[in-house]
Amino acid sequence: MVRKGTNFLGEHYDPSMLAISTHAPFGRACLATPDGRTCGQTLADGVTSPYPGTDVSGPFSVLLSAGKVDHTRIRGGLHNMKLHPTAVKGSRGSRKLLSLISSYFRSSSSFQIQFNIVDTKMLRDAQLHPENYRDLIVRVAGFSAYFVELSKPIQDEVIARTEHDLPGSGDSTEDDVNDGDDDDEHGALSAVQGTIFDVQDFTLHDGPGVRSTIFLKGCPLRCKWCCNPESQRFEIEEMAKTADADARTVGRKVTAGEMVNEMRERVRFLTGDASAGGVTLSGGEPLGQPEFAHAVATLLDRAGIPVAIETSGQWVWDRVSHIFPHLSLVYFDVKAGKAATYKNCTGVDGRQIMANLARVVSVMGPQHVVVSLPTVHGFNDSMEEASEIAAQVISAGVRRVRILPFHALGDAKYTRLGRDAERLADAVVPKATLDELVAFYTSKGLECSVVGSTSK
């Protein structure tokens, strides 16, 4: 509505959401509000800042709520947050603060946030003994000021704001949160053990730049077209000898520290610069080993190496959510649109997968999520399935999809593992069908590409 009008220059108005210094006088003129604020009390200090006492689920939840506002359509968007000083103490605390900020900006269109790093006890003492705190500056609303020069109602409002801690440091003493603790954390992460079954270099479709891909063992799905059956089970296995291949052990135990040291050397060798390419975690389902995947991703991220992940989405959010701040890109598989098709093809109905997709897009931001569509003729390449897929991924906030056409390169592996495989007759997707799917997804506003090629 605002942009429909014109100003005295004949230009359209821009809608703005600006608090500046108005939250106190506006509060005096405002009746009681549903958030528990009584008549005449000061309003929340910023456009997306919560009213004191209503932000009860931690700083990440606050910013997820603030990020729901479409900041591309407005000017302003002020957000202030209050943190206890111990939350950001030492290099470990600094990394947590950086993670909080980067997660906020990556998962939303927001463009500003300010912090008060201050102890509420100190603020109360400053009210009683202002002569001892002449140089204490606090963030008020759209401005900063000397605390002791503020009026009593504004001082009280700043004190009343929720004082947040950052995850992992809430119950720590000052002695616990220091650089020596960083060394302990690094050592603990390095010692986490996992099971992998392959490492490949120069992987072309696993992320931007020249990449190395780590394949972790174990997967909760049993896709009928799986070309890596050796990835399905979590335990180490043996592949039998054939006329074309020697017997070999599939899988090895490795610590996160060992894996990261190996990756750092590989990436530097391939690119000459640890940040020019990257590492991708794949599988199997890499988040089937959540602590190992998290440890590897965290250590690589700290080393300045971009980390991507390829995931089926079949996992419990609370067990894996801590890995996403350390990722630069997520390839998220969607294997069908209908629950019945999902169940028939993979053994699960896909409902948890689609719920997790929405969560990942919300946390990472749509620019950092690509939906991969494994496409198999006779299973999930119909326009009916494509319509269901498009509707669900668009609802989740996805902007990019890529089609992965079926190939039968994994058939021999089943025999060597002593397993029966369902032979998929004529499962290669015709090129004409791929062209139709690309055109369809593009018509829905999705950026769509095809990885690899088809022979039909």
- In this structure, what CATH number is given to the domain that contains residue 290? 3.20.20.70
Is residue 17 very low, low, confident or very high in pLDDT (cuts 50, 70, 90)? Answer: confident
Q: How many domains does the chain have?
A: 2
Residue 427 resides in a domain: yes
Give Cα 37 distance to the centre of its chain: 34
Residue 175 resides in a domain: no
- Cα–Cα dist 411/423, whole Å: 8
**Domain stop point among 164, 199, 223:** 164
Both 375 and 412 in one domain: the answer is yes
Supply 407's token pair: 């190939």
Give Cα 136 distance to the centre of its chain: 36
- Cα–Cα dist 441/434, whole Å: 11
Both 273 and 376 in one domain: the answer is yes
Is residue 122 very low, low, confident or very high in pLDDT (cuts 50, 70, 90)? Answer: very high
Dihedral sign computed on CA atoms, order 6, 10, 16, 18: negative
Both 386 and 433 in one domain: the answer is yes
Is residue 125 very low, low, confident or very high in pLDDT (cuts 50, 70, 90)? Answer: very high
- How much is the pLDDT for 202? 82
DSSP string over 60-73: HHHHHHHTTS-GGG
CB atoms within 10 A of CB 152: 8
Q: Which domain holds residue 282?
A: 186-450
CB-facing half-sphere around the CA of 314: CA atoms within 13 A: 20
Average pLDDT of every residue of the chain: 86
Residue 180 has pLDDT above 80, yes or no: no
**What's the pLDDT tens digit per position in 384-406?**
999 999 999 999 999 999 999 98
Residue 455 has pLDDT above 80, yes or no: no
The stretch 145-171 carries a mean pLDDT of 82
Both 303 and 446 in one domain: the answer is yes
> Of the ranges 56-65, 86-95, 129-138, 161-170, which is most confident?
129-138
- How much is the pLDDT for 178? 42
Residue 291 has pLDDT above 50, yes or no: yes
Residue 179 resides in a domain: no
Residue 190 has pLDDT above 80, yes or no: yes
- How much is the pLDDT for 32? 93
- How much is the pLDDT for 174? 39
Residue 182 has pLDDT above 70, yes or no: no
Residue 370 resides in a domain: yes
Q: 396-432: b or e for each residue (b if 16 or more CB lie within 10 Å)? A: bbbbbbbbbbbbeeeeebbebbeeebeebeebbbeee
Residue 147 has pLDDT above 90, yes or no: yes
The stretch 245-262 carries a mean pLDDT of 92
Cα angle vertex 200, ends 198, 206, to 5°?
A: 110
- Cα–Cα dist 355/361, whole Å: 10
- How much is the pLDDT for 413? 86
Is residue 236 very low, low, confident or very high in pLDDT (cuts 50, 70, 90)? Answer: very high
Residue 114 resides in a domain: yes
The stretch 354-372 carries a mean pLDDT of 95
Residue 176 resides in a domain: no
**Domain stop point among 101, 132, 164:** 164
Residue 180 resides in a domain: no
Contacts of 46 (CB under 8 A, 6+ apart): 19, 23, 78, 79, 80, 141, 142
Both 62 and 190 in one domain: the answer is no
Supply 82's token pair: 């209050």
Is residue 425 very low, low, confident or very high in pLDDT (cuts 50, 70, 90)? Answer: low
Q: Return the closest-CA partner of residue 444 out of 389, 407, 364.
A: 389
Q: How far is CA 187 from CA 87, 183, 280, 290, 327, in A?
A: 21, 6, 22, 18, 21
- How much is the pLDDT for 192? 94
More confident residue, 390 or 70: 390
Element (H, E) at 280: strand 278-282
Both 50 and 143 in one domain: the answer is yes
Residue 33 has pLDDT above 50, yes or no: yes
Q: Strand 211-216's sheet: what is its strand order?
A: 252-255, 193-203, 211-216, 278-282, 307-311, 329-333, 369-375, 400-405, 447-450
- How much is the pLDDT for 183? 59
Is residue 1 very low, low, confident or very high in pLDDT (cuts 50, 70, 90)? Answer: low
DSSP 6: B
Is residue 423 very low, low, confident or very high in pLDDT (cuts 50, 70, 90)? Answer: low
> Of the ranges 56-65, 266-275, 425-434, which is most confident?
425-434
Contacts of 13 (CB under 8 A, 6+ apart): 2, 3, 5, 6, 7
Both 158 and 197 in one domain: the answer is no
Torsion of Cα atoms, 361 then 53 then 120 then 61, to 10°:
-10
Both 144 and 255 in one domain: the answer is no
Both 123 and 246 in one domain: the answer is no
Residue 126 has pLDDT above 90, yes or no: yes
- How much is the pLDDT for 137? 95
Give Cα 380 distance to the centre of its chain: 27
The stretch 12-18 carries a mean pLDDT of 76
Q: How far is CA 389 from CA 205, 341, 361, 403, in A?
A: 22, 11, 16, 12
Output the pTM of the full model. 0.61
The stretch 330-350 carries a mean pLDDT of 96
Supply 259's token pair: 């894996």
- Cα–Cα dist 210/313, whole Å: 25
**Surface-to-core class of residue 268, CB atoms within 10 Å of its CB (0-12 exposed, 13-18 middle, 19+ buried):** middle
Residue 77 has pLDDT above 60, yes or no: yes
Residue 177 resides in a domain: no
The stretch 59-79 carries a mean pLDDT of 83
Both 292 and 381 in one domain: the answer is yes
More confident residue, 15 or 367: 367
Supply 198's token pair: 């392959």
Element (H, E) at 273: none
Both 96 and 193 in one domain: the answer is no
Contacts of 387 (CB under 8 A, 6+ apart): 337, 440
Torsion of Cα atoms, 46 then 48 then 53 then 54, to 10°:
150
Supply 118's token pair: 């201050």
Residue 69 has pLDDT above 80, yes or no: yes
Cα angle vertex 387, ends 384, 391, to 5°?
A: 150
- Cα–Cα dist 23/79, whole Å: 13
Residue 376 · residue 429 · CB < 8 Å: yes
**Domain stop point among 104, 132, 164:** 164
What share of the chain has pLDDT > 70, as a percent? 90
- How much is the pLDDT for 145? 94
Residue 176 has pLDDT above 50, yes or no: no
